[in-house]
Amino acid sequence: MIDYYKHQLKNGLRIIVHPDKSTPMVAVNVLYDVGARDEHPDRTGFAHLFEHLMFGGTKKIPSYDAPVQHVGGENNAWTSNDFTNYYVAVPAANIETAFWLEADRMTELDFSEKSLDVQRKVVIEEFKQRYLNQPYGDIPLLIRDLAYKIHPYRWPTIGKDISHIENATLDDVKTFFFKHYAPNNAVLSVAGNVEPDDVFRLAEKWFGPVPPREVPERNLPEEPPQTESRYREVKRNVPAPFIQMVFHNGRRTDPDFYANDLLSDILSNGPSARLFQSLIKEKRLFSDVNAYIGGDRDPGLFTVTGRLMPGVKMDTAEQSIRKELEKLAGEGPTDYELQKVKNKVISNLVFGEIHYLNKAVNLAQFELMGMADEINLEPERYKAVTKTEIKELAGKIFNPDNCSTLYYLTENTLD
């Protein structure tokens, strides 16, 4: 059970606090309602670029990391297609340092050609290392572009083309910052050894003076239903062929999210799951298989992947996966399978509540999605999923016309 207290400042900043007296620490988490889906198609990768720029210093505080380290804290950030999240964990006695730092960089960064050039080079190098020069690294670029035609989920958070970051100007990044980095476009969550009233007082002191901004209304194009199978085949210098199949499914906020999550676990959560037992242990077609969902705020993807064993043909690999998906859609899970994955998920939820930082991050996301009141209902939602729901959902999702498939072949694969 996560107890929490909420407050909102006049500038629109939402605050949610969870007191946890079991730790001497506190996590201060700022979640901005901006991600890769908010980028212009010709200027992608900006949300991720800002994750780096936000650590580049401000006019008042040239180094973000130094004050955090000075008070014995740590910090980090991550970007998704939906959010950009920043956190700093410090001893509770030093919480005001975190408020001072976060409010300062929410106000304005030290926008300079030098700072932009430094972070631009960092992001370009990351793009090359993780997506262009790493085995299987460009799969997110290929599969998203295949599965989505108009929705901005068609590019990953790094961006769809390295040139978009290479050509980013100072005016571009300033415009992006003042559109999205605003108190009225953020949630401040605090979890740890604190009193809610003290947090609200500090929030008023440090974040209250930050002016609200004109955040543009989000009006994203809706991805039309997929009505035919899509395929893409590439050859790369990789050790083994790889297949990735993605099916359109729902939002994180949809009622069937919990069934969706359990469906993916039935297929691939652990060595007793269906895909492992059938395709790895029994048939020896793959060295590894996976199934997972993204939990996106807009309709996302149900993903199935597999790395082929030597000598296995791609068509054989694909058909073996499809047979397992069709079997689940036709028969549904067993009582044992469903109960097993429910136990795992609920156990993970309970253990996840132990750490104060996890609670801060989760509270921020639930509040931003308008679901804070439901955060304690998650275990019951999973418990309520039935075999019939799983069966019907599998039949709906695993329609071949709803599938985009990437054949990722080795360079020596025969045509």
**Tens-digit pLDDT profile for residues 252-283:** 999 999 999 999 999 999 999 999 999 999 99
CATH architecture of 230-410: 2-Layer Sandwich (3.30)
End-to-end CA distance of the chain, in Å?
56
Residue type, 43: R
Total-model pTM: 0.95
What topology is assigned to 5-206 in CATH?
Cytochrome Bc1 Complex; Chain A, domain 1 (3.30.830)
The answer, yes or no, to whether residue 182 has pLDDT greater than 80, is yes
Rounded to whole angstroms, the Cα distance separating 372 from 130 reads 34
What's residue 61's pLDDT? 93
Strands in 367-402 per DSSP E = none
Rounded to whole angstroms, the Cα distance separating 61 from 153 reads 35
The mean pLDDT value of the chain amounts to: 96
* Exposure string for 118-133, b = 16+ CB within 10 A, e = fewer: ebbebbbeebeeebee
Cite the DSSP H helix spans in 24-84.
Answer: 46-53, 65-70
What are the tokens at 192?
């740890």
What's residue 166's pLDDT? 94
Q: How many CB atoms lie under 10 A from the CB of residue 222?
A: 9
Q: What pLDDT, in 10s, does the model give residues 55-106?
A: 988 989 999 999 999 999 999 999 999 999 999 999 999 999 999 999 999 9
Rounded to whole angstroms, the Cα distance separating 25 from 91 reads 4
Q: Yes or no: say if 15 and 1 are a contact pair by the CB < 8 Å rule.
A: no
Instruction: Give start-end residues of each CATH 3.30.830.10 domain in the chain.
Output: 5-206, 230-410
- The SS3 of residue 250 is coil
Residue type, 156: P
Cβ-Cβ contacts under 8 Å for 282 (sequence gap 6 or more): none
What's residue 414's pLDDT? 57
Cross-sheet strand order for the sheet of 286-293? 230-236, 403-410, 242-248, 301-308, 286-293
Residue type, 170: L
